[in-house]
């Protein structure tokens, strides 16, 4: 289906309002045409000095058309923009739902800046569909038909001339403009995306760029991308200018042609001389309405590019297909059983192979391994973010048979970089349970060991943490996310590298807090940090996507192998970090007495 039609269908709920806006706009434009025609007739008739009563009706009509033109235009803009913005809201929600369907693993196909462009700029461009494409063309067609019909009744020859030139202004000129702008517009959507992606990457890496002295190179790259976009905009503007010039030529042809037909008609007595002004002025008023169509044609080309990019989101397959008849997940967690489980991020790469595992209710299981061993893949599978082969039964229900949202209402996740939203601490916690009251939020913050810190803030739980939690430390951000998890009350929790990117003391403190507050919860901890796992009920070692060992800490240390070696290395690094501050570095060492 044409992507533009898809956008139009998204605004289907407001088509009746848009239809009314079209009729109101056409009536306003007809009032403008009728105003000029009536004024011409009034002035021409007044020049013959007729009785005053002869001019009364025309004078009233002039006032009526002058007032109605402004009033109808105001109502048309009010109705049309209201419907368009309501439709835009529905479209934005629809696009967000499509992104939510792909999240999180399916979004890897789009860069962050590209996603930002699609969700903001491309969706906003859809506003042009009703306001700058559909309504202008509908109004132009209705006004042209009415004007041609009146001139055809008054002077058939003039009606034919205006009809031919109006068809040129309605179809030929916009088509020529669209062809000229199509190539530039086809590249502009991609250029906007590239620029947005480059800006986002530069902002994310501001510290690294400054530290490495790469600021001039990054600025030059952004300048080049901006220059490309500027050149494309100039080409598009040139097409609009050419369209305006062609429109003026067609307008001149309509006026000159109408006068050429009207002069013989007046001299032969077929029409009264006062109608000559009407025949000459009506094309001028009509083409004032048609003058905006070249810009409308360019807007349509721009809209096509944005519509295609939005359609790409809709056409991107979901990583996990939703079951046709989803099976509800029981509220009580009775265990997790994995049998012959395999999973991959790409068809050619197997991240997990033949995983067999059982997790009993209340058990604390740790999954460890080197980078690339498949730990994060396992977390994605357990959360329902990634398809798998084999069988995973949670509380007796096969994961692929459960609805994803229902599954995540029973399974909690604390990731290595839990997102902290640009809102208050309380609102960040309430994301886990939107209906949680203040007391419940306070209890969750207390269990996450944040009470003293929150009390030290000027606004307490109403403190805004800033974009991406810029106003809090990494450890505080993870504890806010932990409070969000606690208020949700999940009975089965997956901890995916919860202490990553934290310094050792903060990581140790957070590990102790997690062990305490989740003591009665079934927990699967996925981590590369082995210190602190001594009290886990069981530790599973992954290597190359397979389980190569499992047991308690003491059992794995006795067996030797990767786990024992890595644990000792971490312990030695920790001991060295403790000893370094006390070493007499830079101080003279006293020699033996003479």
Q: What pLDDT was estimated at residue 93?
A: 87
Which structure tokens are listed for 218?
A: 């990054």
Alpha helices, DSSP H, located in 103-167:
112-116, 123-125, 128, 135-154, 156-167
**Using CA atoms, how far apart are residues 445 and 425, in angstroms rounded to an integer?**
9
d(CA 154, CA 174): 29
**Alpha-carbon span 358 to 339, nearest angstrom:** 9
3-205+218-315: which CATH topology?
ABC transporter transmembrane region fold (1.20.1560)
Q: Among all chains, which residue has been given the structure tokens 């044409």?
A: 2
Cα angle 204, 316, 309 (rounded to 5 degrees) comes to 65
The alpha carbon of 308 is separated from its chain's Cα centroid by a whole number of angstroms, namely: 14
Count helices and strands (H / E) in the chain. 22, 10
Token pair belonging to 56: 């009364």
| Cβ–Cβ under 8 Å, residues 313 and 118 | yes
pLDDT averaged per 10 residues, the chain (length 594): 77 84 93 92 87 85 93 93 89 86 79 78 86 90 93 92 92 84 72 80 80 86 88 80 86 92 90 90 90 86 84 84 88 91 82 91 92 87 90 93 88 85 91 91 90 89 82 84 90 87 79 86 89 88 90 90 89 67 53 46
Task: Please list the residues that pair with 355 across neighbouring strands.
Answer: 341
What per-residue confidence (pLDDT) applies to 143? 94
pTM of the model: 0.72
DSSP result, 394-434: ETTEEGGGS-HHHHHTTEEEE-TT----SSBHHHHHHTS-T
- Going by C-alpha positions, the residue among 261, 247, 345 that lies closest to residue 296 is 247
Is the preceding omega at residue 104 within 30 degrees of 0, hence cis? Answer: yes
Q: What distance in Å separates the CA atoms of residue 455 and residue 445, rounded to the nearest whole number?
A: 11
CB 481 within 8 A of CB 420: yes
In a 3-state reduction of DSSP, which class is residue 77? Answer: helix
The string of pLDDT tens digits covering residues 42-75 is 988 888 888 877 788 889 999 999 999 999 999 9
CATH numeric code, 336-580: 3.40.50.300
Residue whose token pair is 């109608």: 275
How many whole angstroms separate alpha carbon 146 and alpha carbon 91? Answer: 35
Six-digit token string for 251: 């307008």
Domain boundaries defined on the chain: 3-205+218-315, 336-580
Q: Do 165 and 257 contact (CB within 8 A), yes or no?
A: yes
């Amino acid at each position: 289906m044409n992507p533009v039609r898809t956008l139009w269908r998204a605004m289907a709920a407001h088509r009746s309002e848009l239809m009314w806006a079209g009729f109101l706009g056409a009536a306003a434009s007809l009032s403008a045409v009728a105003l000029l025609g009536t004024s011409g007739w009034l002035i021409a008739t007044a020049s013959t000095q007729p009785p005053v009563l002869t001019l009364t009706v025309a004078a009233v009509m002039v006032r009526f058309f002058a007032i109605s033109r402004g009033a109808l235009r105001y109502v048309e803009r009010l109705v049309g923009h209201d419907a368009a913005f309501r439709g835009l809201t529905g479209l934005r929600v629809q696009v967000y739902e499509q992104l939510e369907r792909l999240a999180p693993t399916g979004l890897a196909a789009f860069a962050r800046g590209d996603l930002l462009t699609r969700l903001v700029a491309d969706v906003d461009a859809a506003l042009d569909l009703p306001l700058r494409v559909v309504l202008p063309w509908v109004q132009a067609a209705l006004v042209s038909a009415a004007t041609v019909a009146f001139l055809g009744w008054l002077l058939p020859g003039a009606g034919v001339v205006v009809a031919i030139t109006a068809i040129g202004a309605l179809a030929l000129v916009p088509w020529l403009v669209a062809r000229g702008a199509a190539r530039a517009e086809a590249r502009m959507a991609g250029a906007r995306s590239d620029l947005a992606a480059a800006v986002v990457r530069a902002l994310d890496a501001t510290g690294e760029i400054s530290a490495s002295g790469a600021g001039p190179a990054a600025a030059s790259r952004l300048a080049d991308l901006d220059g490309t976009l500027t050149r494309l905009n100039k080409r598009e503007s040139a097409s609009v200018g050419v369209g305006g010039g062609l429109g003026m030529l067609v307008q001149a042809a309509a006026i000159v042609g109408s006068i050429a037909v009207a002069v013989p008609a007046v001299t032969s007595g077929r029409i009264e001389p006062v109608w000559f002004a009407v025949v000459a002025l009506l094309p001028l008023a009509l083409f004032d309405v048609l003058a905006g169509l070249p810009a409308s044609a360019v807007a349509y080309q721009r809209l096509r590019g944005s519509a295609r990019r939005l359609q790409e989101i809709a056409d991107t397959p979901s990583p996990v297909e939703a079951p046709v008849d989803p099976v509800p997940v029981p509220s009580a967690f009775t265990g997790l059983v994995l049998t012959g489980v395999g999973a991959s991020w790409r068809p050619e790469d197997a991240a997990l192979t033949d995983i067999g595992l059982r997790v009993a209710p209340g058990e604390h299981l740790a999954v460890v391994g080197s980078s690339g061993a498949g730990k994060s893949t396992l977390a994605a599978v357990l959360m329902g973010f990634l398809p798998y082969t084999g069988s995973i039964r949670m509380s007796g229900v096969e994961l692929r048979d459960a609805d994803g949202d229902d599954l995540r209402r029973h399974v909690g996740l604390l990731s290595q970089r839990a997102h902290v939203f640009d809102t208050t601490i309380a609102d960040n916690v309430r994301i886990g349970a939107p209906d949680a009251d203040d007391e419940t939020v306070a209890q969750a913050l207390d269990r996450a060991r944040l009470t003293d810190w929150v009390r030290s803030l000027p606004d307490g739980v109403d403190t805004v943490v800033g974009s991406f939690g810029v106003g809090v430390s990494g450890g505080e951000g993870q504890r806010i996310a932990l409070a969000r998890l606690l208020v949700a009350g999940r009975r089965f929790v997956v901890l995916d590298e919860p202490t990553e990117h934290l310094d050792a003391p903060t990581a140790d403190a957070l590990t102790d807090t997690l062990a305490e507050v989740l003591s009665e919860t079934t927990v699967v901890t996925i981590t590369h940090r082995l210190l602190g796992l001594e009290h886990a009920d069981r530790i599973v070692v992954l290597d190359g996507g397979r389980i190569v060992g499992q047991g308690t800490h003491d059992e794995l240390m006795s067996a030797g192998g990767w786990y024992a070696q890595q644990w000792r290395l971490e312990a030695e690094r920790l001991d060295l970090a403790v000893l370094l501050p006390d070493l007499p570095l830079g101080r003279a060492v006293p020699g033996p007495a003479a």
